[in-house]
Amino acid sequence: MTTPTSTSLPAQACVLWFTGLSGAGKSTTALAVQQALHAHRCANYLLDGDQLRQGLCRDLGFSAEAREENIRRIGEVAALMVDAGLITLVAAISPFQQMREQVRKRFAPGKFVEIFIDAPLAVCEARDPKGLYRRARAGEIRDFTGIDSRYEAPLAPELHIKTNQLAPQQAVEQIIHYLHQQHYLVATVTHPPTTR
Protein backbone atom coordinates (compact mmCIF):
# COMPACT_ATOMS: atom_id res chain seq x y z
CA MET A 1 0.00 0.00 0.00
CA THR A 2 1.23 3.50 -0.74
CA THR A 3 1.00 6.46 1.61
CA PRO A 4 -0.13 9.93 0.46
CA THR A 5 2.89 12.22 0.45
CA SER A 6 1.61 15.62 -0.61
CA THR A 7 -1.53 17.58 -1.24
CA SER A 8 -2.02 19.97 -4.15
CA LEU A 9 -4.94 22.20 -5.07
CA PRO A 10 -5.80 22.42 -8.76
CA ALA A 11 -7.42 25.80 -9.18
CA GLN A 12 -10.05 27.37 -11.37
CA ALA A 13 -8.79 30.81 -12.40
CA CYS A 14 -10.79 33.70 -10.99
CA VAL A 15 -10.34 37.13 -9.45
CA LEU A 16 -10.77 37.63 -5.71
CA TRP A 17 -11.65 41.32 -5.40
CA PHE A 18 -11.04 42.63 -1.86
CA THR A 19 -12.90 45.92 -1.31
CA GLY A 20 -13.30 48.04 1.81
CA LEU A 21 -12.20 51.17 3.62
CA SER A 22 -8.55 52.04 4.12
CA GLY A 23 -7.44 50.22 7.26
CA ALA A 24 -10.17 47.58 7.06
CA GLY A 25 -7.58 44.88 6.33
CA LYS A 26 -7.78 44.32 2.57
CA SER A 27 -4.06 43.99 1.89
CA THR A 28 -3.43 42.06 5.11
CA THR A 29 -6.19 39.57 4.36
CA ALA A 30 -5.31 39.24 0.67
CA LEU A 31 -1.64 38.61 1.51
CA ALA A 32 -2.60 35.94 4.05
CA VAL A 33 -4.87 34.25 1.49
CA GLN A 34 -2.04 34.41 -1.05
CA GLN A 35 0.29 32.69 1.43
CA ALA A 36 -2.32 29.96 1.97
CA LEU A 37 -2.56 29.45 -1.80
CA HIS A 38 1.25 29.35 -2.09
CA ALA A 39 1.36 26.70 0.63
CA HIS A 40 -0.78 24.48 -1.60
CA ARG A 41 1.26 25.31 -4.72
CA CYS A 42 -1.66 27.13 -6.29
CA ALA A 43 -0.71 29.58 -9.06
CA ASN A 44 -1.78 33.09 -8.07
CA TYR A 45 -0.83 36.77 -8.14
CA LEU A 46 -1.66 39.68 -5.83
CA LEU A 47 -2.40 43.15 -7.23
CA ASP A 48 -2.27 45.72 -4.44
CA GLY A 49 -3.98 49.04 -5.12
CA ASP A 50 -1.41 51.06 -3.17
CA GLN A 51 1.48 49.57 -5.14
CA LEU A 52 -0.28 50.10 -8.46
CA ARG A 53 -0.80 53.76 -7.52
CA GLN A 54 2.99 54.07 -7.50
CA GLY A 55 3.42 52.57 -10.96
CA LEU A 56 0.70 51.76 -13.48
CA CYS A 57 -1.71 54.34 -12.04
CA ARG A 58 0.69 57.00 -10.78
CA ASP A 59 -0.70 59.54 -13.27
CA LEU A 60 -4.15 59.41 -11.65
CA GLY A 61 -5.57 61.59 -8.91
CA PHE A 62 -8.51 60.90 -6.62
CA SER A 63 -11.45 62.51 -8.39
CA ALA A 64 -14.41 60.24 -9.14
CA GLU A 65 -13.26 59.99 -12.76
CA ALA A 66 -9.67 59.17 -11.79
CA ARG A 67 -10.82 56.51 -9.32
CA GLU A 68 -12.96 54.95 -12.01
CA GLU A 69 -10.00 54.81 -14.41
CA ASN A 70 -7.79 53.41 -11.64
CA ILE A 71 -10.18 50.52 -11.05
CA ARG A 72 -10.69 49.98 -14.79
CA ARG A 73 -6.94 49.55 -15.27
CA ILE A 74 -6.64 47.18 -12.33
CA GLY A 75 -9.57 45.19 -13.69
CA GLU A 76 -7.95 44.89 -17.12
CA VAL A 77 -4.68 43.64 -15.62
CA ALA A 78 -6.59 41.18 -13.43
CA ALA A 79 -8.50 39.91 -16.48
CA LEU A 80 -5.24 39.19 -18.32
CA MET A 81 -3.97 37.21 -15.34
CA VAL A 82 -7.19 35.23 -15.04
CA ASP A 83 -6.96 34.48 -18.78
CA ALA A 84 -3.46 33.14 -18.07
CA GLY A 85 -4.92 30.70 -15.54
CA LEU A 86 -4.08 32.44 -12.27
CA ILE A 87 -6.18 33.03 -9.21
CA THR A 88 -5.75 36.80 -9.05
CA LEU A 89 -6.15 38.67 -5.79
CA VAL A 90 -6.94 42.40 -5.96
CA ALA A 91 -6.80 44.60 -2.86
CA ALA A 92 -8.25 48.01 -3.73
CA ILE A 93 -10.69 50.33 -1.95
CA SER A 94 -12.82 50.59 -5.14
CA PRO A 95 -15.39 52.69 -3.26
CA PHE A 96 -18.27 52.89 -5.73
CA GLN A 97 -20.74 50.10 -6.43
CA GLN A 98 -21.09 51.01 -10.11
CA MET A 99 -17.35 50.77 -10.79
CA ARG A 100 -17.17 47.36 -9.13
CA GLU A 101 -20.11 46.16 -11.22
CA GLN A 102 -18.39 47.40 -14.37
CA VAL A 103 -15.31 45.37 -13.48
CA ARG A 104 -17.46 42.31 -12.74
CA LYS A 105 -18.89 42.52 -16.27
CA ARG A 106 -15.34 42.26 -17.63
CA PHE A 107 -15.21 38.66 -16.41
CA ALA A 108 -17.11 35.54 -17.42
CA PRO A 109 -19.88 34.48 -15.01
CA GLY A 110 -18.41 32.93 -11.88
CA LYS A 111 -14.94 34.38 -12.45
CA PHE A 112 -15.39 37.46 -10.21
CA VAL A 113 -15.54 36.94 -6.44
CA GLU A 114 -16.27 40.14 -4.51
CA ILE A 115 -14.96 40.03 -0.94
CA PHE A 116 -16.16 42.85 1.30
CA ILE A 117 -13.50 43.45 3.95
CA ASP A 118 -15.60 45.24 6.52
CA ALA A 119 -14.66 47.20 9.62
CA PRO A 120 -16.40 50.24 11.15
CA LEU A 121 -14.91 53.60 10.23
CA ALA A 122 -13.96 54.19 13.88
CA VAL A 123 -11.96 50.95 13.90
CA CYS A 124 -10.23 51.82 10.63
CA GLU A 125 -9.33 55.25 11.98
CA ALA A 126 -7.97 53.73 15.18
CA ARG A 127 -5.80 51.35 13.17
CA ASP A 128 -4.72 54.00 10.61
CA PRO A 129 -1.50 52.12 9.70
CA LYS A 130 -0.38 54.78 7.19
CA GLY A 131 -1.58 57.85 9.07
CA LEU A 132 -3.95 58.69 6.22
CA TYR A 133 -7.06 59.31 8.33
CA ARG A 134 -5.13 61.70 10.56
CA ARG A 135 -3.94 63.62 7.50
CA ALA A 136 -7.44 63.61 5.99
CA ARG A 137 -8.95 64.97 9.21
CA ALA A 138 -6.29 67.68 9.18
CA GLY A 139 -7.26 68.66 5.64
CA GLU A 140 -3.96 67.48 4.15
CA ILE A 141 -5.69 64.88 1.93
CA ARG A 142 -8.82 65.73 0.00
CA ASP A 143 -11.50 63.35 -1.29
CA PHE A 144 -10.39 60.67 1.16
CA THR A 145 -12.74 57.69 1.23
CA GLY A 146 -14.71 57.52 4.46
CA ILE A 147 -14.01 61.14 5.42
CA ASP A 148 -15.06 63.49 2.63
CA SER A 149 -15.72 60.91 -0.08
CA ARG A 150 -18.26 58.14 0.39
CA TYR A 151 -17.71 54.41 0.39
CA GLU A 152 -20.57 52.36 -1.03
CA ALA A 153 -20.67 48.98 0.66
CA PRO A 154 -21.32 46.00 -1.63
CA LEU A 155 -24.97 45.02 -1.85
CA ALA A 156 -24.45 41.29 -2.41
CA PRO A 157 -20.79 40.31 -2.14
CA GLU A 158 -19.82 36.68 -2.48
CA LEU A 159 -18.09 36.99 0.90
CA HIS A 160 -18.52 39.46 3.77
CA ILE A 161 -15.55 39.41 6.17
CA LYS A 162 -15.84 41.49 9.36
CA THR A 163 -12.23 42.00 10.40
CA ASN A 164 -13.15 43.56 13.74
CA GLN A 165 -14.87 40.29 14.69
CA LEU A 166 -12.55 37.69 13.14
CA ALA A 167 -8.91 36.89 13.75
CA PRO A 168 -6.83 37.08 10.55
CA GLN A 169 -6.51 33.28 10.36
CA GLN A 170 -10.28 32.88 10.73
CA ALA A 171 -10.81 35.26 7.82
CA VAL A 172 -8.39 33.26 5.68
CA GLU A 173 -10.07 29.98 6.60
CA GLN A 174 -13.48 31.40 5.68
CA ILE A 175 -12.23 32.49 2.25
CA ILE A 176 -10.39 29.23 1.53
CA HIS A 177 -13.47 27.28 2.62
CA TYR A 178 -15.58 29.29 0.16
CA LEU A 179 -13.11 28.59 -2.65
CA HIS A 180 -13.36 24.85 -1.94
CA GLN A 181 -17.14 24.98 -1.59
CA GLN A 182 -17.54 26.76 -4.93
CA HIS A 183 -15.00 24.45 -6.62
CA TYR A 184 -12.41 27.14 -7.33
CA LEU A 185 -10.06 24.82 -5.44
CA VAL A 186 -10.24 21.04 -5.66
CA ALA A 187 -8.15 19.01 -3.23
CA THR A 188 -6.24 16.09 -4.70
CA VAL A 189 -3.76 13.70 -3.14
CA THR A 190 -0.47 12.75 -4.79
CA HIS A 191 0.96 9.25 -4.21
CA PRO A 192 4.55 8.12 -4.73
CA PRO A 193 5.28 5.44 -7.35
CA THR A 194 4.68 1.90 -6.12
CA THR A 195 7.93 0.03 -5.49
CA ARG A 196 8.29 -3.73 -5.51
Q: Is 37 annotated as a binding residue?
A: no
CB hemisphere CA count around 35 (13 angstroms): 10
Give CA 151 to chain center in angstroms: 16
Exposed/middle/buried for residue 174 (C-beta within 10 Å: 0-12, 13-18, 19+): middle
Q: Is 43 annotated as a binding residue?
A: no
Contact 166, 174 (CB under 8 A): yes
Q: Is 6 annotated as a binding residue?
A: no
Q: Rounded distance, CA 138 to CA 41, Å?
A: 45
Residue (of 183, 172, 17, 180) closest to 103 by Cα position: 17
Q: Is 26 annotated as a binding residue?
A: yes
Residue (of 128, 50, 56) closest to 93 by Cα position: 50
Q: Is 130 annotated as a binding residue?
A: no
End-to-end CA distance of the chain: 11
Q: Is 23 annotated as a binding residue?
A: yes
Q: Is 146 annotated as a binding residue?
A: no
- Residue 91 neighbours by CB distance under 10 Å: 29
Contact 154, 116 (CB under 8 A): yes
Q: Is 92 annotated as a binding residue?
A: no
Query: What residues act catalytically?
Result: 94
Binding site feature residues for ATP: 20-27
Binding site feature residues: 20-27
